[in-house]
Amino acid sequence: MVDAWASTGQVTDITTATVTETQLVQAQASVEMFSNRIYADSDRIRPRDLYWLRLAVAYQAAWEAGQFDLNTRLDTTSAQQDGAVATLGDRAVILGPRAKQALQRCSWMRSRSVHIRSAFEAGSAYGRDPLVDSEGDEHLWRPMSGGGS
């Protein structure tokens, strides 16, 4: 049994590709590098994230099975040969596109920005306009209840 977020059977079920355990181990290593998570920490990962990691490993295993030697690829920014020009980016073509999509859905890969409601947004404790003084026209005096008539 391979320590991976997906099994060879799950790879076949998800992608219809048949992979060996060696290819599955390679895909697991690739996903671990890009996700910054390791299989040994699976018990500390949320079930939803484990689902996306399983898909990422399955898609990566199927994609890598159709690639030639991933370990000796160039990470070039420009190459030209026989009139064809290729411009590749950082870590060029070492993660499958569907594996990348699955990884982007993991909770720690999403944006960490937090929206803080301003005083002007609906539901504010300040009322309609927080810039109006309490003596202003917006705050009319009303007698307190329970007093004499």
Is residue 140 domain-resident? no
Express each pLDDT in 110-148 by its tens digit.
777 776 766 566 555 555 565 655 555 555 667 777 665
Q: Which residues contact 101 (CB under 8 A, 6 or more apart)?
A: 59
Residue 125 inside a domain? The answer is no
**What is the pTM assigned to this prediction?**
0.65
Rounded to whole angstroms, how far apart are CA atoms 113 and 148?
Answer: 53
**Helix or strand or coil: residue 80?**
strand
Residue 29 burial by Cβ neighbours in a 10 Å radius (0-12, 13-18, 19+): middle
| Range 95-118 average pLDDT | 83
Domain with 55 in it = 8-108
pLDDT at 12 over 80: yes
pLDDT band at 94 (very low <50, low <70, confident <90, very high): confident
Q: Are 78 and 60 in contact (CB under 8 A)?
A: no
Residue at 98 is within a domain: yes
> What mean pLDDT is predicted for residues 79-108?
80
Instruction: Give domain status of residue 134, yes or no.
Output: no
